[in-house]
Chains A and B, each alone.
Chain A
């Protein structure tokens, strides 16, 4: 007898119950008194639906939610360990203040919060609002990011609001905004089930988004026409299912993307009607955008034949032609992550992928979409959408526009003119200002810049300097080691709120267990902080007290803030999100099912009513309504290489990334002994040819040195990076293994995202 996934989950649960209770027959097992709750996974931006079981106040089980519409019961191996991670003995439990001897010492909440509020209030009073800063996270709840943004921009009056999404997806934001005039993907995971071509570029989907990778594989299994194109300078497990693998020289894939467009035009594989109706062509002259035409684009691309591009990027011209033909045949879904985003020309790389979709009309129909995958569970909903970066405001607004500032001032209830029109400091500049003493006090929430920032020696020195650093976290980290005050934060399942994942789906997660020791939710800490600032006159009276006391209150305001924006999610009251497995915005009314594909008449409700409505469209018509003329932009971007290409002194390219078993700076996954054992320490992948030339074998310790710092890490000699390139995951913080001491903090001038993926290093076998 065959069963479905849902019944299978039941059977495996019953098997556990039988094992626990002793009887051999599962069906006869006595059910345990456990409660199951619907939630969403804590790790990446896939947003897997999960169910969690609580027994005697402890998490005892986790299962993929078979009812979840997009992840359908799957989770990856990391999720298995979430119950253990939540109950890890290494959790932070009490507030701590650094004492005169330089050691962190337990304190009461009042002592810690008074000190934090005093230091911030003093800085604001003595040096102005821009002397303080907030550095948040794509792992915080949406309500937490929104509240912090509201406090700093609308209460204190500084735009020094940043977060770690600046390090991972700012270039994707820049790409969407410059091409489509509004952030966030237009497609959804459903497109995987209808695509015939997958274009995976700069994405190790297999290890970083395993459940999405499975869905791609399922599509390939069920449809013989499905082809996978993989573009990556380093071989990853994605390559194992690729029909066409292109391995460009690191940093030169812009040439490859232009050459694909050149072939598509040369061979007349473009969608002439779609281009005529929906696309503008733009270039930049003297720093300003200039409208050009299709003929200018064709002329520009004529210079980028597959032969010329192949010589620049190191890919066989015939493979480029084949990729272009497959792309144009479609329906084509593109996925990318850090390989495109963490680059000094990340926005341009994003633009060029969008160019291919617009040129071929592979957009706005099932299976056809450009889709940037996100690495954190709530970078989209929490930071991008709530506008919690230095240049933006909630739901597509920007600080530069007076109308947008006025709207948010009215919603937040602050005095007109409070929100500054000038963007605050971006992440790299913010930490630089901290080191220079211009930022006097900084609040870091649910992230670990002491490990994750590039050119780490410089920025750690800044964090450990005279300025006041307060850190909210659930675990000890490299950042808590140098903080002046550490506040223990509740984590996943210990607090309730919303995560918004890659496909615009907002999902509710409940609080089902109590946090350890005296830990509190970040939201509660922020509210307490705001009220203490108010008591000290550092924010206007009445701005915080009695307002938005809970995440539920906050969500109400957030929904209203989305009115008349492209994000409209007023149809997602708390009760609906508690009941359903998330809803994709826009969803302006409670009876709207959510939107699979934006910008498509008949699917996107904003084309039916509200400021973007257009009655002249027929079902299926596309309109990129965020632009005044309803069109998207194909950009003529120059081909420029990385900020620091290899040279005679530093002849190798270093690229950083992840492994399946760990996540980000590893503070959670390394708390699970099993995951620690599976991948216990940092390693550097070196191509066998290079290893032979350097006399390095697997297991040897290798010095990796750049112009900024040095790490000493064990070698893995393996044919994964191309010759001349090495790869190091950034999850570990053991002595000598902080690879970000080596990376570069040069950043994209548009997105301000640093180039983690490419810097020049030299290698040598370590002496000891």
Chain B
């Protein structure tokens, strides 16, 4: 399991609609932030590939989203040793 915490910068003129669109995405949990016109989104997925895919194809391309930047990524399992 992988989690990415994402800062989503929203078009101020479409804020409620964008929040609503984000709110229905599967595997995405929204958290209001103090910073104006931004939202926190926690994306959970089976692996980093899927999480990245959701960030790029679902969140970043949503109408009203100006950009989305990862703040935090965490792999629930340790990467395999390369030795």
Contact = CB atoms under 8 A, between A and B. Distances in A.
Interface of A: 1-5, 8-9, 11-13, 15-16, 19-20, 53, 55-56, 58-64, 66, 73-77, 79-81, 83-84, 87-89, 91, 93, 210-211, 213-214, 217-218, 221-222, 241, 516-517, 673-674, 677-678
Interface of B: 1-5, 7, 9, 12, 29, 31-37, 40, 42, 44, 48-49, 52, 55-56, 66-67, 69-83
B35 A5 contact: yes
Contact of A9 (B2, B5, B32): B5
A11 B74 CA distance: 12
B11 to A, nearest CB: 9
Which 8 pairs between the two chains have the least Cβ-Cβ distance? A12-B5, A63-B72, A20-B76, A61-B74, A16-B3, A16-B74, A8-B40, A19-B1
Contacts of A217: 9, 66-67
A5 B2 CA distance: 20
Contacts of B32: 1-3
B12 A2 contact: no
A232 B44 CA distance: 38
B70 A87 contact: no
A2 B34 contact: yes
A214 B9 contact: yes
28 contacts: A3-B32, A3-B33, A4-B33, A8-B40, A8-B71, A12-B40, A13-B3, A15-B29, A19-B3, A20-B76, A58-B78, A60-B74, A60-B78, A60-B79, A62-B73, A63-B71, A63-B72, A66-B71, A73-B71, A81-B48, A83-B75, A84-B48, A87-B79, A87-B82, A91-B82, A221-B36, A222-B36, A673-B49
B32 to A, nearest CB: 5
A72 to B, nearest CB: 9
A516 B3 CA distance: 26
Contacts of A55: 78
A79 B70 contact: yes
Contacts of B55: 77
A88 B55 CA distance: 23
Nearest to B70: A80
Among A56, A63, A81, A91, residue most surrounded by chain B Cβ atoms (within 10 Å): A63
A77 B35 contact: no
Contacts of A79: 70, 73
B79 A76 contact: no
Contacts of A93: 82-83
A559 B7 CA distance: 38
Given A2-B34, A218-B9, A80 B48 contact: yes
A15 B73 contact: no
Given A58-B79, A516-B83, A678-B56, A214 B74 contact: no
Most buried by A among B5, B40, B44: B5
A517 to B, nearest CB: 6
A12 B81 contact: no
B79 A83 contact: yes
A59 B79 contact: yes
A2 B81 CA distance: 40
A64 B72 contact: yes
Contacts of B35: 4-5
A211 B69 contact: yes
A767 to B, nearest CB: 35
A63 B73 contact: yes
Given A3-B31, A15-B42, A19-B76, A75 B70 contact: yes
Nearest to B55: A77
Contact of B72 (A13, A20, A218): A13
A161 B67 CA distance: 41
B70 A15 contact: no
A26 B35 CA distance: 23
A16 B79 contact: no
A12 B3 contact: yes
B41 to A, nearest CB: 9
Among A8, A11, A218, A222: residue with most chain B CB under 10 A: A8
A674 B82 contact: no
Given A83-B73, A93-B82, 7 more contacts: A3-B31, A12-B5, A58-B79, A64-B72, A83-B75, A214-B69, A517-B83
Contacts of A241: 66
A73 B31 CA distance: 16
A169 to B, nearest CB: 25
Contact of B80 (A53, A59, A75, A87): A87
A53 B75 CA distance: 10
Given A4-B34, A4-B35, A516 B74 contact: no
A60 B7 contact: no
A11 B42 CA distance: 9
Contacts of B31: 3, 8, 11
Contacts of A20: 1, 76-77
